[in-house]
Amino acid sequence: MTPKDARVLIVGAGPTGLLLAAELHRRGVPCRLIDAHDAPLHWDRATVVHPRSLEVFESLGILDPFLAIGVKQRTARLHSGGDVLGVIDLATCGSRHGFNLGISEEVTESILTDYLRRRGGDVMRATRLVALEQRRDGIVAAIESGGAHEETSVDWVVGCDGLHSTTRELSGIDLAGHDIPEPWAVFDVTLRGWSEPFEANYAYLEAIPVILTALPKERWRVYLRPSGPDSDLVADALATIGRYHPEVAFDGVANPTRFHCHTKVATRYRSGRVLLAGDAAHVCSPSQGHGMNSGLQDAFNLAWKLALVCSGESSADLLDSYEVERRPVAETITASGDAAEHAHTLVDPAERRARDRELRRVFADPTSRHHEVIAEAELDIDYSASPIVMGDTDATLHPGGRLPDTVPVRFPNGERCFLHELAHRAGHTALVIAGSCDGADGVAGVEESVRAAADPSVIETTVVLASEPSDERWPRLDGTTSEALGVDGIAVLAVRPDGHVGLRADRDHARSLVAYQSLLRSGRR
């Protein structure tokens, strides 16, 4: 058995495992990433990157390669019976990235692999996990590569190895749920004669449901429910598209594939020193594009917590918050996916008409339409029920909420940025935000007490933001922005590395920060 050369073994080098490994390396946690495939996949069917995932990539400094390659999908249109039922306009989602990005999953993996390598990591390919033995002080993992057998000792194992996760099975964790009976199919194509805007997605809820998602170079990924087990997939898709666009023809069909999907969530996300993330923890219908995105956000949530535990700054109990925060997201997207599956496969004419009436009602109402938009963007994720957030829960920007990325900040020298850019850190950021207060002396006093209370192993930096008019020593928010954030007086926010608010304190600022840091160390209330 080899001695510990890594603190964490990550199994599976899809987007979830790649992001987790890179984020652990960024925080100085040695880890080993293995994958059973001998090379990256040349093509994979997932394609849509949602606005929240784009925010994650921006925080890591890797958004530009995605934007350079992908195509912005600004709207999604739902059709039935020859008509448009509703439009999801992502410009209204509340993110500066008001669009989905169309980019095939293997390209996403290549960008994340480059990011991992820049952080000092890499993928150990053609390597399988074959056994696990949990001990009091760690795990002995048996892996096989090229016919060679090796036992390695690590502190933690994270299974990012998909639906048929070996990690999950070896840990005795069940995957509960059901199979989706109706099969899916997919292929890539060029649409000759297409007259609609290219930067969009189109869903057609007809007898043969079809979804078109825009890809680079004016290609499309076509998802459909085949008419039969041996049907012609191109003819199936054209039967539906032709009802709306009879002039359209398909050119350059590539990668036609049939597949089955599932609605399942792991009964536990943690068993001792083993954790699950991505498709190893949850699988859902592909109809809304949440599978890969939720896996990326699992990794983003887990990495900073696991790093604190590996460094000895926090108890292992902190890791229980990972499931508390991320499992509700999995339950939401699986339930939503089942609802979409049901809507796609209705055959009774009366039921289809009722479905269409309900969808028209949803999109005609501004409130319910906005709910659909933010759910599509994955900006409806809130961790306010987490055991590791605390503070003033009735505030606009409350504990567990996401720090918005649309709040402008102006520096005394005239430079500008957005509020969330000040909090893109490997550790926490303490934001001291002054609304209407007793003046600069009051702000300076809070700043001094917060800096004195901040533990550098948790709080990486402290930033003061004041409203106009203010002392020129600090960056500024305008007064209306402070009001929009619900700041009346002085508020202190501890912003987590994943961009969610861990603490909000509108009074007793330093004492509250000390209590929050103690909460993170213990991992439980």
Could you tell me what percentage of the chain is helix, strand and coil, using 3-state DSSP and rounding each to the nearest 5?
A: 35, 30, 35
**What residue ranges of the chain are covered by domains with CATH 3.50.50.60?**
8-46+104-175+264-345
Whose tokens are 């190893």? That residue is: 280
Least Cα distance to 519 among 269, 315, 383 occurs for: 315
Tokens of 500: 């969610």
Superfamily of domain 8-46+104-175+264-345: FAD/NAD(P)-binding domain (3.50.50.60)
**What residue ranges of the chain are covered by domains with CATH 3.30.70?**
184-260
Contacts of 194 (CB under 8 A, 6+ apart): 245, 248
- The answer to whether 326 and 334 are in contact (CB under 8 A) is no
Per-residue pLDDT tens over the stretch 344-370: 999 999 999 999 999 999 999 999 999
Q: Work out the number of other CB atoms within 10 angstroms of the CB of residue 179.
A: 9
Tokens of 81: 């019976």
Provide, rounded to the nearest whole percent, the portion of the chain with pLDDT above 90: 86
Per-residue pLDDT tens over the stretch 429-453: 999 998 765 555 688 899 999 999 9
- Residue 470: predicted pLDDT: 55
Rounded distance between C-alpha atoms, residue 54 and residue 329, angstroms: 18
- Residue 4: predicted pLDDT: 59
Dihedral angle over CA of 370, 373, 379, 381, nearest 10 = 80
Per-residue pLDDT tens over the stretch 87-142: 999 999 999 999 999 999 999 999 999 999 999 999 999 999 999 999 989 999 99
Name the band, by pLDDT with cuts 50, 70 and 90, for residue 525.
confident
State how far the alpha carbon of 99 is from the alpha carbons of 156, 359, 458, in Å. Answer: 36, 21, 33
Q: What is the CATH number of domain 184-260?
A: 3.30.70
The correct answer on CATH 3.40.30.120 for the domain covering 390-522 is yes
Question: What is the reported pTM?
Answer: 0.96
Residue 318: φ, ψ to 5°: -55, -30
Residue 404: φ, ψ to 5°: -65, 155
Strands 123-124 and 31-34: parallel
Name the band, by pLDDT with cuts 50, 70 and 90, for residue 479.
low
Say how many Å lie between the first and final Cα of the chain, rounded.
39
Rounded distance between C-alpha atoms, residue 152 and residue 142, angstroms: 6
- Residue 471: predicted pLDDT: 62
Helix, strand or coil for residue 22?
A: helix
**What residue ranges of the chain are covered by domains with CATH 3.40.30.120?**
390-522
Rounded distance between C-alpha atoms, residue 278 and residue 300, angstroms: 11
- The answer to whether 46 and 105 are in contact (CB under 8 A) is yes
Provide, rounded to the nearest whole percent, the portion of the chain with pLDDT above 70: 97
Beta strands (DSSP E) in 305-415 are: 390-391, 408-410
